[in-house]
Structure 1
Amino acid sequence: MAGETVTIVEYLYKRLYQLGIRSVHGLPGDYNLVALDALPAAGLQWVGNCNELNAGYAADGYARIKGISALITTFGVGELSALAAVAGSYSEHVPVVHIVGVPSTIAQKKGALLHHTLGNGDFSVFANMSRHISEVLVSITDPNIAAREIDRALTACFVAARPVYIGLPTDMVLRKIPANGLDTPLDLALHPNDPETEADAIQSITEIIYAANNAVILVDACAIRHRVIDEVNELIDKTQLPTFVTPMSKGAVDETHPRFGGVYVGDVSRPDVKAVIEAADLVLSIGALKSDFNSGGFTYRTTTKHTIELHSDHTKIGFAMYPCISMKYVLQKLLGTLDFQKIRHTESAKSIPPTLENKEAPESTGDEITHSWFWPHIGNWLQENDVVITETGTANFGIVETRFPKGVTAISQVLWGSIGYSVGACQGAALAAKETNPSRRVILFVGDGSFQLTFQEISTMIRHKLTPIIVLINNDGYTIERMIHGADAGYNDIQPWRHTNVLQTLGAKEGEYKNYVVKTRKEVDDLFKKGNEFSNANVIQLVELFMPKMDAPRALKITGKMSEKLNAKMEV
């Protein structure tokens, strides 16, 4: 491309395309309209969401499947509407490129009294609001460094696995810049570890692993976000150590693997899982995010002395800290240097707990659909490579009891916990799955309360001919909140909706959708047996599934009580 030029927006979009992005979420606004004109020529599809919050959730879901995503909003009103979603992506280490169309540099210099501003001439105030939830924040105001700034932001987004903010003024969109930068791929490699420090860490880790009698591996969310899952699975195969995951890392490990032991959530864990983890003389923790809901209300019973923590930006061995020693390189070195014959497997380590066989709890009787029956039960219906999305609420806690087939990707928001997240995320994930592997099923489990916040995004699914299975759990309100506080309080109640009218109301035509209502276990089983008519249908489907108002997954009942006590302790 020597001597050729492109516009700044063309350069940006071609870089997005090079990163694997094919669809861009967001909403139009007068400060981004000219930029949107350039999307088709760059090979990018405009999604067009119902509101900016939903667009942010959808971009998050898309990134969890494709590895990175892009979101375009307009200045002020648009970008602020998306910030709750972008903050969630920052919290949970999800790489989203947030592109904001802003007023021209001339208008900004003049402090013009423009619409979508605070009327005080300050055009930096909204970008500053994004500063603390963005890995990098750039404003494209100088064509001479525009390509460099774009590359810097996109590289940071991918490598740090967190959102970045790119402000694009209207008078910069069509400015010409050299195109030759596009000939050089972005350098997405991690910064290398310091060799001496890394070698010391590797030696210490190796000695500790060899000395352990009953070591276990505990995989957490950042192992997924920072792309070390291949290394983790190779480590499991070669060490044959018992392996466990947390709620945030469900699906990271093949749950059909003979060394998979279940989900560890501190005191919320199944007793047999808890016993094995807490009896281990070494816990190899990979990518930990020890938030309250992810750690059973901070009830991990593992000791620092007997734990090796591998993170994206540091390594911790017992009480010794190794800053800037990345887990990806450490894992690669371990795989190349460990003598796997020296790893001990005592009887206790060999006797990992029997993994869930997707059978309901013994006390689960009758024909009413309860959480103790449903979540283990659906594991028998799930298929390899499904994408399973669970809402912040009963579904997030219930899915812990489900054993996945091989290759299932689980999407949830355990740390940020924004109610309504899952519907937008489902749209983004379904679109990403369609782009990468159209045969993958996308299944959403969402409660009736959460559904009311973001249900409009189903219209975007219909518009783009996406075909998820939406299992709407009708349990008459905010059950997760009832478990924490206010079981009978009016603020946890909602207005009942006619859910089976939603798909048609949002534009689905005859033959493009199906509705089902299930109120008994037999009706669930009959539905699951329908094969291609339901399980592999090529239309969007909504299943309204009724559960008792005060029923909840075992993990949520325990966590709810913990949360209420924790909240009370934190009161002034």
Structure 2
Amino acid sequence: MASVQNGQVTLGNYLLERLIQLGVKQAFGVPGDFNMPFLDLIEDHPNIGYVGCCNELNAGYAADGYARVTGKVGAVITTFGVGELSATNAIAGAHSERVQVVHIVGVPSTVLQGHQAVLHHTLGDAKFDAFLHIAQHITAATATLFHAETAAAEIDQCLAAMLLKARPCYITIPTDLVNVEISAKSLETPLRPTIDHPSKEPTEAFLVNRIAHLFETAKKPVVLIDACSLRFHVVDIAQKLIEKTGVTFFTSPMGKAALNESHPNFGGIYIGDISMPAVKEAFETADFILAIGTMKSDFNSGSFTWRMPGERTVELHSDHVVFQYGRFEGVTFQTILPLLVEQVTPLKESQKVAVHPWPKYLGTPTGPITQEGLWPLTSTFFKENDIVFAETGTSAFGVLETKLPKGAIFGAQILWGSIGWAGGSILGAAVAAEESVVPRRTILFMGDGSWQLTIQELSTMARYKVKPIIFLLNNDGYTIERFIHGPNRHYNDIQAWKWTSLLDVFGAAEDSYATHQVKTFEELSALMKEPSFAAADKIQFVEIFIGKMDAPRALKLQASLTAKVNA
């Protein structure tokens, strides 16, 4: 710990050391006068860096993407009031989708707060806790530091709550406390998520016995892997369960690529009525379903058309288990799954479910690019360990039916669904890719409407020399919205941009990027086969022209269901 001397550390460096212990190597943010003293510490620290973004919303998105790819924690740093409110949407999205992001807010000094001074960036009413009330609704915990002697404990409690609940946390640091020295003793004790409930060993033993029995006696058992399996790091133990039993497993949209989609036991992505017919049939005829970490949102469940009846379903969660029609609080998949792996036995061949999880396509597509042919073609471009992010809309629904290779990471904001998320998030993903111990390409699929919200971070990518491959789907507006409502309404139209000129406008060095425009499958296929393009050694920006009312199969079905629910 480079910043600790004689057992003392500044309060600001105490927080930085905790972030470093949690795996944070880069933080994202925008400077403002109330956070600059803290930014000084980051800039001077040898073990953590800072990525300056174009606005706080994008910085929050970047921290979200960084956390998803590293599987650890993201950090965003804003100034009081104007800065933190700009980032609020990103923090709300991370809360919704269970992503660990630390939101650090530089606030006015304790002296000014104590005197209730009317300051810039405030509401002019001397209420310095106004924005805290917002943060309390969209974080696991908050810490408003005001006294140096209690700051370390408050920071630790806040971060521990984030780890326990897999949701963001919010920490404010007054300008006059950043460089106050405090004891560094607590840094010797690693942070641990604290579980408040008492031991549930008898309940756990009962549940493990019953679940193992269901595996043994079911004619066609299956497993469903969802987002919280990723967020709470139980994917590895879930894979051990699958390998030992030989059970067929499915994922949800939010759980896509949690496990290898080339695995012989992979049954496909289950989205209720939106699923591929073969996938739907195989899943819904199973007589025992073990669901791990489910999030039953509309876009994740095909507008609530998941069919998992209580009498044949067991749900494992981070803080409870639903066993058929009973709910057991305080029992977690972290404890249940290892015990279950020990107890289960391999399935008989007759118990295994056979299913073809992907659409069947005939031949190589030719002519103008269509959604139907685009996604199977992109699947030929992916490599092991690729990071693939897709924007809510045609891109996310298209990638759902695209087979990702071993080790791939998939990112999409399927629950919160804030358009533009992927543009900021891919920055964080690309920064995280640079830290990876295995080579990883960063690939983005995003529509023209969404990119207009967060396109500024393209300049940040050029500035920090990350090298994503960006596929812009130019379909002339908000296609997903057109399918939900108002296909010919002007509010779903956008201004056409000269997309391939933007990197030049943003000042990127001429040798740091390449741009392409493709209108046919022949052109796109040739580009994907070009070694210099696939190498991802510079920013590659590809504008794909596609029909305004062309959309993936799954999106059309989801939009129809959404329109009915909205009505």
TM-score by length of 1: 0.96
Q: Which amino acid aligns with 2:327?
A: M
- Structure 2 distance, partners of 1:381, 1:359, is 18
Residue 354 of structure 1 deviates from its aligned partner by 1.7
Q: Is the 8 A contact 1:304 1:318 kept in 2?
A: yes
Residue 360 (structure 1) aligned with residue 361 (structure 2): yes
Q: Is the 8 A contact 2:141 2:161 kept in 1?
A: yes
- Structure 1 distance, partners of 2:193, 2:434, is 25
Residue 220 of structure 1 deviates from its aligned partner by 0.7
Q: What secondary structure, in the 3-state scheme, does the structure 2 residue paired with 1:213 have?
A: coil
Residue 213 (structure 1) aligned with residue 213 (structure 2): no
Aligned counterpart, 1:561: 560
| Structure 1 unaligned regions, length at least 5 | none
Q: Which amino acid aligns with 2:416?
A: W
Aligned counterpart, 1:483: 483
Residue 171 of structure 1 deviates from its aligned partner by 1.4
2:27 to 19, 24, 44: 24
Aligned counterpart, 2:41: 38
Say which is worse superposed, 1-10 or 304-313, in terms of deviation: 1-10
Distance 1:425 1:406, change over 3 A: same
Aligned counterpart, 1:409: 409
Residue 355 of structure 1 deviates from its aligned partner by 3.2
Residue 421 of structure 1 deviates from its aligned partner by 0.2
Residue 31 of structure 1 deviates from its aligned partner by 0.5
Q: Is the 8 A contact 2:223 2:250 kept in 1?
A: yes
Q: Is the 8 A contact 1:513 1:539 kept in 2?
A: yes
- Structure 2 distance, partners of 1:92, 1:256, is 26
Aligned counterpart, 2:191: 186
Cα deviation, 1:180-239, whole Å, max 9, x if unaligned, reads 221222224766852122112212212222221100011111111111010111111111
Residue 159 of structure 1 deviates from its aligned partner by 2.4
Q: Is the 8 A contact 1:396 1:412 kept in 2?
A: yes
Q: Which amino acid aligns with 2:352?
A: K
Q: Is the 8 A contact 1:63 1:94 kept in 2?
A: yes
Residue 465 of structure 1 deviates from its aligned partner by 0.5
Cα deviation, 1:407-444, whole Å, max 9, x if unaligned, reads 11000000000000001000001001101247200000
Q: Write the mapping of 1:193-208 to structure 2, written as runs, cut at 5 A.
A: 193-208=199-214
- Structure 1 distance, partners of 2:131, 2:52, is 22
Distance 1:311 1:379, change over 3 A: same
- Structure 1 distance, partners of 2:340, 2:51, is 43
Say which is worse superposed, 558-567 or 35-44, in terms of deviation: 35-44
Aligned counterpart, 2:13: 10
Distance 1:2 1:80, change over 3 A: closer
- Structure 1 distance, partners of 2:353, 2:171, is 52
Q: What secondary structure, in the 3-state scheme, does the structure 2 residue paired with 1:145 have?
A: helix
Aligned counterpart, 1:75: 80
Q: Is the 8 A contact 1:97 1:163 kept in 2?
A: yes
- Structure 2 distance, partners of 1:5, 1:361, is 67
- Structure 2 distance, partners of 1:120, 1:55, is 28
- Structure 1 distance, partners of 2:49, 2:438, is 17
Residue 325 (structure 1) aligned with residue 331 (structure 2): yes
Q: Which amino acid aligns with 2:407?
A: G
Residue 372 of structure 1 deviates from its aligned partner by 1.1
Q: Is the 8 A contact 1:360 1:374 kept in 2?
A: no
Cα deviation, 1:111-138, whole Å, max 9, x if unaligned, reads 1111111111110001111111010111
Residue 435 (structure 1) aligned with residue 435 (structure 2): yes
1:54 to 52, 58, 62: 58
Residue 108 of structure 1 deviates from its aligned partner by 1.2
- Structure 2 distance, partners of 1:193, 1:203, is 18
Q: Which amino acid aligns with 2:137?
A: H
- Structure 1 distance, partners of 2:431, 2:536, is 17
Residue 141 (structure 1) aligned with residue 142 (structure 2): no
Q: What secondary structure, in the 3-state scheme, does the structure 1 residue paired with 2:534 have?
A: coil
Q: What secondary structure, in the 3-state scheme, does the structure 1 residue paired with 2:372 have?
A: helix
Aligned counterpart, 2:68: 64
Q: Write the mapping of 1:310-349 to structure 2, written as runs, cut at 5 A.
A: 310-338=316-344, 340-341=345-346, 343-346=347-350, 349=351
TM-score by length of 2: 0.96
Residue 505 (structure 1) aligned with residue 489 (structure 2): no
Q: Which amino acid aligns with 1:255?
A: E
State the identity as a percent.
47
- Structure 2 distance, partners of 1:35, 1:333, is 45
Aligned counterpart, 1:552: 551
- Structure 1 distance, partners of 2:25, 2:73, is 10
Say which is worse superposed, 299-308 or 201-210, in terms of deviation: 201-210
Aligned counterpart, 1:460: 460
Say which is worse superposed, 52-61 or 301-310, in terms of deviation: 301-310
Distance 1:188 1:2, change over 3 A: farther
Aligned counterpart, 2:237: 231
RMSD: 1.5
- Structure 1 distance, partners of 2:373, 2:261, is 20
Distance 1:514 1:3, change over 3 A: closer
Residue 158 of structure 1 deviates from its aligned partner by 2.0
Residue 302 of structure 1 deviates from its aligned partner by 2.3
Q: Is the 8 A contact 1:361 1:373 kept in 2?
A: no
- Structure 1 distance, partners of 2:317, 2:217, is 22
Cα deviation, 1:301-359, whole Å, max 9, x if unaligned, reads 22111001011111011001111111111101111222x14x3442xx53421232x75
- Structure 2 distance, partners of 1:519, 1:135, is 46
| Structure 2 unaligned regions, length at least 5 | none
Residue 2 of structure 1 deviates from its aligned partner by 9.2
Aligned residue pairs total 561
1:167 to 162, 168, 172: 172
- Structure 1 distance, partners of 2:439, 2:447, is 26
Aligned counterpart, 2:530: 530
Q: What secondary structure, in the 3-state scheme, does the structure 2 residue paired with 1:248 have?
A: coil
- Structure 1 distance, partners of 2:306, 2:92, is 26
Residue 537 of structure 1 deviates from its aligned partner by 3.2
Aligned counterpart, 2:541: 542
Q: What secondary structure, in the 3-state scheme, does the structure 2 residue paired with 1:500 have?
A: helix
Q: Is the 8 A contact 2:366 2:522 kept in 1?
A: no
- Structure 2 distance, partners of 1:375, 1:193, is 48
